Chains A and B, each alone.
Chain A
Amino acid sequence: MNGEIAAILAMDGIASGAIYVLIGLGLVLIFAVTRVIFVPFGDIAAFTALSLASLETGGRPGTVGLVAVLAVLATAVEAIALARNRAFHRLPRALLFYLVLPLIPAAAVWFAAGTTLSMPLRIVLSLALVLPIAPLLDRIVFRPIADASVLLLLTVAVALHFALSGLGLMFFGPEGVRTKPLTDAVFDVAGLIVNGQMLLILAASIVFCGLLFLYFEFTIQGKALRATAVNRVGARLVGIRPTSTGTIAYLLASLLAGISGVLIAPVTTIFYDSGFLLGLKAFVGAIIGAMVSYPVTALGAVMVGLLESFTSFWLSAYKEVLVFSLLIPVLLWRSLSFAGTEEEEAEE
C-alpha cells in the first residue's frame, strides 16, 4: 500500500465514520434518556434513504403507510391508557400528538407524489416523514414497560427490530436504491481527488454534533434531557416528565439518523434491511463510549469507519467479521471500567 491509497482509504473511512457518528450519538441520546438500547435505530436512517429515493422517482414512499399504521396503533394505545385512568379530557391532545401531527408530513407527501419537487424539498419531506416513527414506536412498545430492566428493554428492542424489518419489506419492497448525488463538486487537494459528497458528509456530521452540544449546554430543554439521564426521580421532582424528554430524545435522535440516511443514500445502495448493519456499526462506537459519553462515541464511530475502510482493502471478505471482532476486546475493557464507574456512583 502506498501513501496515496492510504490517504484515500482514510478519507473513505472518516466519511463512513462520520455517518456512524450521527447514528451513534442518537443511540447514546436515546439510551441516556430512556434506558432503551434502540436496536432498530439504523432502520430510521435506511427508511429516510428509501423515502428520498422514492420521492426522487416521483413515487409514493412506503413510509407513508408505515407512519399511518404506527400512528393509528399509538393513538389506540394512548386512548386505552387514558380511558383506563378516566382522563378523557386529555383525548384531544392525544389525537393531536399521536394522530394528526405524525400524519401531516405523510399527507403532504401523499398529495405531492408524482409532482417534481426540488432536492431540498425532497430532503426535508423525507426527514419529516421519518421523524415520527421512533416516537410512535416508543409510545406503542416502550412506554408501557418504561420501568422494566435495561435487559428486558433490550430484548424488546431486538424483537422490535425484526418486526420493523418485516414492515420495511412490506412497505418498501426488496429493491435496493441509490439517490442522486447531493453535489457533483470534486476538489483537488494536494494531488488527491476529494469529492464534494465526502466533504458534505464530514461537514454535516460536524455541524450537527456542534448543534447537539449547544442544545445540551445552553437550552433548558437540553438540560432537562441531561437531567432525566442523570436522575429520573430528581427530574420528576422538578416537574420534568420523563415521557416528554423521552419523546424529544427520540425526535432529535431520529433527525440525526435521518440526516445520516440522506448523506449515505448517494454513496451506498440501501435496502429495506440495510439499517441493521448501519445501526450495529454505530452501536460499536456507542459501546466504546460506554453508552454515556458523546465525544468518545464519536471517536469510536470514526474508528469503526477507518477500520472498516482499511480491512475492506486488505481482507474485504472479512470486513464485517473484523469490525465486530473489535467489539470483544472493547467490551472486555469497558466491562472493567463500567465496574469502576458503578463503584463511584455507589459512593455518592
Chain B
Amino acid sequence: MALLSIDQVSVAYDKVEAVRGVSLAIEPGQIVTVIGPNGAGKTTLLGAAIGLLPWRGRMSFDGIDLRRLDVEARIERGFCLVPETRELFGDLSVSDNLLLGGYSRRRDSAGVKRSLADVYGRFPRLSERRNQKASTLSGGERQMLALGRALMAKPRLLMLDEPSLGLAPIIVREVFRIIASLRELGVSILLVEQNARAALETADFGYVLETGEIVHSGAAADLMHDPRVTASYLGGH
C-alpha cells in the first residue's frame, strides 16, 4: 500500500485553480520527485498535502484519510514538510529550533536527545552554531537547519520544497547527498525541485507538473532520457 496517495486532487486560491486533478503515489522507502517550471503548482500541492491549504479530491497517508488529520496530527504521525520558505524560528537559537523540531515527540526525551546528537553528527555546522540565533545563519545553513528540524520529528515521509533553492553549487551537491542518505534511515521522500537533473538523479520515480497538471511520469532513469523531458528541463540533450 502506498505511504502517501494523492488521488484527483485540486487546489484553488479563491476561484483560480493552481492544481488540477493531480494523482500521485509514494511507496515506503521511495524517493519521488515532482519537477516543473516556476508557477506550475508544486508548492501549492505540498501545502495542500500538509494541510495548510484547502483541497478537493482524496488523499491518504498510511491508509488514514487526510481529511481527518490537521497539520499537527500529520506531524505526530511522521508526515512532515520542509517548506520553500523554511519557516524557521529566527529569534530562537539553532539548538532550540532543533529541540522544537522534536516537539511532537516531547514525551520521549531520551529519543529526542539521541536524534539531536544524530542531527549534529550529520550537520557539523549546526553543531558549531548551536547557540546562534537562526536568523544569523547563511542560506545554506538555514537549509541544513530546516532539514535537521524536520528530521527531529522522526519523519516517515518528508516532503522537501526546493531544498537547493538559492544555494551555491557546492552546497547543492551536499544537500542532495544528504537527501540520498536519508533513504538509509528508512525515510520516504517527496522532493520538489526546479533543478530537474539533480532531482531525477536522486529519485526513483518522477512526475512532471505543468500549469497545475501532471504531464509526464515514470521511473526517474527513464524520464532523464525522455526527449520531451530533456528538451524542456535538462537543457536539451
Contact = CB atoms under 8 A, between A and B. Distances in A.
A239 interface: yes
B103 A220 contact: yes
Contact of A348 (B90, B92, B103): B90
Contact of A237 (B83, B90, B135): B83
A239 B103 contact: yes
B153 interface: yes
A237 B89 contact: no
B185 interface: no
A190 interface: no
Nearest to B149: A238
B50 A237 contact: yes
A128 interface: no
Contacts of A233: 52, 83, 85, 87
Tell which of A223, A231, A238, A241 has the most Cβ of chain B within 10 Å. A238
Contacts of B153: 238-239
Interface string A197-235: 000000000000000000000001001101100110111
B75 interface: yes
Tell which of A220, A224, A233, A234 has the most Cβ of chain B within 10 Å. A234
Interface residues of B, number: 29
B97 to A, nearest CB: 8
A180 interface: no
B81 interface: yes
B87 to A, nearest CB: 4
Given A238-B100, A238-B153, A223 B80 contact: no
Contacts of B71: 236-237, 239
Contacts, number: 68
Contacts of A238: 75, 100-104, 149, 152-153
B96 A223 contact: yes
A240 interface: yes
A237 B92 CA distance: 16
A234 B104 CA distance: 13
A155 B199 CA distance: 49
Contacts of A236: 52, 71-72
Nearest to A228: B89
Interface of B: 50, 52, 70-72, 75-76, 80-81, 83, 85, 87-92, 96, 99-104, 106, 135, 149, 152-153
15 contacts: A226-B89, A226-B92, A227-B92, A230-B90, A230-B92, A231-B90, A233-B85, A236-B72, A238-B100, A238-B102, A238-B152, A239-B71, A240-B72, A240-B103, A241-B72
